[in-house]
Amino acid sequence: MTPPHPEVAEVTIGELAERSGVPASALRFYERQGLIHSRRTTGNQRRYTRATLRQVAFIRASHHLGIPLSVIGKVLALLPPGEVPGQEFWARASDCWTEDINSRIARLERMRDRFSECIGCGCLSFPQCALVNPNDELGKEGSGPRRLFDN
């Protein structure tokens, strides 16, 4: 497919899907979630501004990093209508969730380190394990993998 002419202000959902690499079904989902917006033609067809292509790229890149769509939506809401996410916007967005990403990294590192202790034992029986959970002390805190998910 040939790219839209530079003077064309809007693209169809098919053109947006092809250019962004995002299925039309996902684009419709993004729209239902309020992440992107379209206008409807008299024939009820969606038309997106060309700026939506950059917004979709931002959504995909952010979601790939594990940022929930609800958080992405809050950040996109800071973008003035019709404005294309540029380098400054990406930097501000990154600042919004750097603390969350660092927190998730720290939690994953703790899980990796604690899970390795259990693998080292090999019994995988926390109630009976004298090394990881003597006398099932963790059982008093409730069910589940307490050492993996605390903090």
Given a cut of 60, is residue 1 above it in pLDDT?
no
Tens digit of each residue's pLDDT (9 = 90 or more) over 33-90: 999 999 999 999 999 998 899 899 999 988 888 888 988 888 888 888 767 788 888 8
For the chain, state the CA radius of gyration.
Answer: 23
Please compute the mean of the pLDDT values over residues 101-116 and round it to a whole number: 82
Q: Answer with the residue of higher pLDDT: 131 or 31.
A: 31
Q: Where are the beta strands (DSSP E) in the chain?
A: 10-12, 39-40, 46-49
Strands of 39-40's sheet, edge to edge? 10-12, 46-49, 39-40
The Cα–Cα gap between 74 and 68 comes to 10
Tens digit of each residue's pLDDT (9 = 90 or more) over 117-148: 665 555 555 555 666 666 667 677 777 666 66
Q: Which burial class, exposed, middle or buried, applies to 107 when counting CB atoms under 10 A from its CB (0-12, 13-18, 19+)?
A: middle
